[in-house]
């Protein structure tokens, strides 16, 4: 209205802004632009300035006077603060305005507050005008990314610490319902029960439930078989009397001590009245401690039976959790899970080789899919096959039968060890996947030469193969064959590219994310289907095009970068994005399977905290970038 009056007030505003970062460094015209558009509001003490339920943030605030407290809303804290106080010159909510979404923090005046307001449109204009302001906002968001990672570690460390603590009372550890018999029970009945329920030991209690003895597997040999005791005799005659008991109020530490001192493997947990509450084994305590890679490897490699292996696969999960807790990245964790799963698989193979004689046969065990790429998360089913050579002097049908028998046993045993059978029957026990080198070559050739939809789908699974056991040169020969096919068939790669572009990252035009792609699970995003897979598919195409031998997505991307002329930094951002999505999957699966649900890949973006949502959004943007790149390269 009156220019003089306005000029005076605008100058005063500019003077105020110049006293605070980043406005002190801001370009003159940008500062004036800002000062001219600010409106001043007042909030009394305890007034809510901005809350998450106010919807998408349309206003950017700069505090002129007074203090504002920012509190994280929701149960997940990921920024390094729960509560943060903001003073004059500080602004909020940078992330929410930038992303045009509701703030996840609640902002409340804790004294009388005068606050400048800037409309979102002017905010964006300012970001365009001022490189200083732009940098300020981007750096702020980038710093949140770091905070998120650190916080993630803290979160996992806490969880790991809870699980590992030797300060856990035995009452919490002895979860399993103890199996017990009374002293007059005949031995035969006891042994049958132990066999059926796979018990290492049986506890003997009196009529009141107080333990009076224990009978273990190793007692069978010495006290029953060698001593020639009839199976009709009562258990009370052969049991070890007065077993070691501990009250359930003592700690895991005491149990460990008792075991060490008395050289025993089991401690019976009793309540205040001396009644049996449970059994703690050495293994229960072992998992409490930081499970080391070497220990696990060693225990896998020497595991005498499946039961031990099954236990070890639990340890793998625990160790992976520890690694997450220690801040190890998704790439290393998934590779590590794969490595240990490899070790378990190898041991299963070895145990089965004892039963199946494959001496003199040139063969190898292949793994496909995520296992082949060394990108296994916690919930992974089996994807495997066999490759072999059939010398002229052998009967091929007979050899194949032998291999199939062996493979089926391995498949079943792997299932028992926590690798569920593949619903798509991608398993070595499937005659179609137990093939000679020539047959595999023919199969691959067919898929490349005739890329119909099923062939392309197969390529996405089988072209990511890895030799896990047996003669590695068979796998290498197959790989050379495969790469010679793909590098000379751009038409096939173009079809692959077409397929890879079928699915777009679920970035919304209005909302942050598209969450209604799966009508059965509204509000969720399948991070495998709409996240990780997008990266994997493109990495595969570039690897197959350039003849890169790796099957791992990150390595494929790294090796492709140079050939594609993508700068190291740019590629690092893409790889970071892929790893972040993998990390979210790991975390999601871990948190869910612990709660007893099946581990899946469907996350609720609304349940993520602000930071993770923002990083996830950025990750999807990165894959979109990658997609437009391949679109350009293959003209699809």
Question: Which residues make up the interface to other proteins (CB under 8 A)?
Answer: 1-2, 4-6, 8-10, 12-13, 35-36, 38-44, 47, 65-66, 112, 114, 117
Closest CA to 144 of 563, 572, 618, 600: 618
- 339 φ, ψ to 5°? -60, -45
Question: Please, what is the minimum distance in Å from the beta carbon of residue 2 to other proteins?
Answer: 4
Q: CB nearer to other proteins: give 61 or 535.
A: 61
Nearer residue to other proteins within complex by CB, 9 or 461: 9
* Residue 103 CB, nearest approach to other proteins (Å): 20
Question: What is the signed CA dihedral for 182, 187, 190, 194, rounded to 10 degrees?
Answer: 140
Closest separation in Å from C-beta 86 to other proteins: 16
**CB of 42 vs other proteins, minimal distance in Å:** 4
Looking at beta carbons only, is 10 or 497 nearer to other proteins? Answer: 10
For residues 507 and 463, the answer to whether their CB atoms sit within 8 Å is no
Q: Among residues 59 and 245, whose Cβ is nearest to other proteins?
A: 59
| Helices and strands (H and E) in the chain: how many | 23, 21
Residue 602 — φ and ψ, nearest 5°?
A: -90, 115
In angstroms, give the least distance from the CB of 49 to other proteins: 12
Kindly state the smallest distance separating residue 22's Cβ from other proteins, in Å: 21
Least distance to other proteins, CB of residue 176, Å: 59
Closer Cβ to other proteins, 115 or 611, answer by number = 115
**DSSP state letter for 370:** H
Nearest to other proteins of 43, 60 (CB atom)? 43
∠ Cα 353 473 343 (to 5°)? 45
Report the nearest approach of other proteins to the CB of residue 559 (Å): 57
Torsion sign (Cα): 23, 24, 28, 32: positive
Between CA 116 and CA 598 the distance in angstroms is 49
Q: Which is nearer to other proteins, 51 or 295 (by Cβ)?
A: 51
Instruction: Report, in Å, the least distance between residue 18 CB and other proteins.
Output: 14
User: E strands along 208-264, which residues?
Assistant: 211-216, 240-241, 245-247
The conformation of residue 237, written as its DSSP 8-state character, comes to: G
Q: Which residues, 6+ apart, have CB-to-CB distance to 335 below 8 Å?
A: 374, 375, 552
Distance between CA atoms of 17 and 116, rounded to whole angstroms?
10
The two structure tokens encoding residue 329? 């990245």
Torsion of CA 336, 340, 342, 345, to 10 degrees: -160
Q: Map residue 74 onto helix, strand or coil.
A: coil
For residues 43 and 620, which CB has a smaller minimum distance to other proteins in the complex?
Answer: 43
* Angstrom distance (rounded) from CA 400 to CA 398: 5
Give 19 or 549: the residue with its C-beta nearer to other proteins.
19
Read off φ and ψ for residue 182, nearest 5 degrees: -95, 155
Minimum distance, C-beta of residue 16 to other proteins, in the bound complex (Å):
9
User: Least distance to other proteins from the beta carbon of 27, Å?
Assistant: 20
Task: Using alpha carbons, list the distances in angstroms from residue 133 to 33, 39, 98, 137.
Answer: 12, 19, 12, 6
Least distance CB 37 / other proteins (angstroms): 8
Burial class of residue 166, CB neighbours in 10 A (0-12, 13-18, 19+): middle
Instruction: Give the nearest distance from C-beta 28 to other proteins in angstroms.
Output: 18
Angle at 174 between CA 173 and CA 176, to 5 degrees: 125
Count CA within 13 A, CB hemisphere, residue 88.
11
Phi, psi of 86 (to 5 degrees): -110, 145
In whole angstroms, the minimum distance from the beta carbon of 292 to other proteins comes to 59
Comparison of 5 and 595: residue with beta carbon closer to other proteins: 5
Q: Are 384 and 562 in contact (CB under 8 A)?
A: no
- 8 A C-beta contact, residue 376 and residue 334: yes
504, 493, 436, 490: which is closest to 463 by C-alpha?
493
41/456 with CB nearer other proteins: 41
Q: For strand 48-50 and strand 105-109, is the pairing parallel, antiparallel, or unpaired?
A: antiparallel
Alpha helices in 56-130, H assignment, sequence order: 94-99, 120-129
């Amino acid at each position: 209205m009156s220019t003089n009056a306005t000029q005076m007030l605008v100058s005063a505003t500019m003077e105020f802004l110049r006293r605070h970062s980043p406005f002190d460094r801001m370009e003159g015209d940008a500062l004036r632009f800002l000062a001219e558009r600010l409106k001043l509001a007042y909030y009394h003490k305890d007034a809510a300035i901005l809350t998450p339920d106010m919807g998408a943030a349309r206003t950017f605030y700069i505090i002129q006077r007074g203090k504002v407290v920012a509190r994280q809303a929701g149960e997940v804290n990921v920024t390094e603060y729960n509560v943060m106080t903001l003073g004059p010159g500080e602004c909020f909510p940078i992330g929410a305005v930038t992303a045009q979404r509701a703030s996840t923090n609640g902002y409340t005046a804790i004294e009388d507050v005068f606050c400048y307001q800037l409309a979102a449109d002017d905010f964006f204009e300012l970001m365009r005008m001022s490189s200083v302001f732009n940098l300020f906002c981007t750096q702020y968001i980038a710093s949140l990314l770091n905070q998120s990672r650190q916080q993630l570690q803290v979160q996992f460390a806490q969880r790991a610490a809870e699980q590992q603590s030797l300060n856990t009372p035995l009452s919490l550890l002895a979860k399993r319902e103890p199996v017990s018999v009374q002293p007059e029970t005949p031995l035969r009945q006891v042994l049958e029960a132990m066999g059926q329920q796979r018990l290492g030991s049986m506890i003997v209690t009196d009529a009141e439930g107080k333990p009076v003895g224990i009978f273990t597997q190793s007692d069978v040999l010495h006290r029953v078989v060698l001593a020639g005791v009839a199976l009709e005799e009562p258990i009370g005659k052969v049991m070890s009397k007065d077993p070691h008991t501990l009250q359930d109020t003592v700690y895991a530490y005491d149990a460990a001590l008792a075991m060490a001192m008395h050289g025993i493997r089991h401690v019976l947990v009793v309540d205040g009245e001396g009644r049996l509450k449970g059994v703690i084994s050495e293994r229960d305590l072992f998992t409490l401690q930081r499970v080391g890679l070497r220990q696990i490897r060693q225990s896998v490699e020497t595991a005498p039976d499946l039961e031990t292996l099954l236990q070890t696969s639990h340890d793998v999960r625990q160790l992976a959790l520890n690694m997450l807790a220690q801040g190890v990245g998704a790439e290393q964790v998934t590779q590590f899970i794969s490595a240990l799963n490899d070790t378990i698989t190898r041991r299963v193979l070895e145990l089965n080789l004892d039963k199946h004689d494959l001496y003199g046969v040139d063969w190898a065990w292949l793994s496909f899919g995520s296992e082949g790429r060394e990108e296994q998360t916690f919930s992974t089913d089996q994807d495997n096959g066999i490759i072999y050579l059939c010398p002229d002097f052998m009967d091929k049908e007979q050899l194949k039968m032998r291999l199939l028998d062996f493979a089926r046993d391995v498949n079943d045993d792997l299932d028992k060890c926590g690798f569920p059978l593949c619903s798509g029957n991608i398993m070595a026990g499937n005659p179609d996947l137990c093939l000679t080198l020539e047959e595999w070559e023919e199969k691959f050739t067919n898929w490349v030469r005739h890329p119909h939809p099923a062939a392309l789908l197969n390529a996405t699974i089988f072209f990511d193969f890895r030799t896990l056991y047996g003669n590695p040169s068979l796998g290498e020969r197959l790989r050379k064959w495969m790469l010679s096919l793909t590098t000379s068939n751009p038409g096939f790669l173009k079809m692959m590219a077409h397929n890879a572009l079928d699915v777009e990252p679920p970035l919304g035009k209005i909302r942050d994310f598209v969450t209604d792609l799966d009508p059965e699970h509204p509000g969720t995003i399948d991070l495998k289907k709409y996240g990780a897979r997008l990266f994997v598919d493109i990495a595969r195409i570039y690897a197959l095009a350039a003849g890169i031998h790796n099957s791992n997505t990150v390595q494929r991307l790294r090796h492709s970068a140079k050939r594609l002329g993508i700068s190291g930094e740019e590629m690092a951002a893409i790889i970071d994005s892929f790893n972040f999505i993998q990390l979210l999957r790991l975390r999601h699966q871990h948190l869910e399977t612990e709660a007893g649900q099946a581990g899946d890949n469907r996350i609720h973006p609304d349940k993520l905290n602000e930071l993770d949502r923002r990083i996830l959004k950025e990750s999807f943007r990165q894959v979109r970038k990658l997609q437009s790149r391949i679109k350009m390269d293959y003209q699809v």
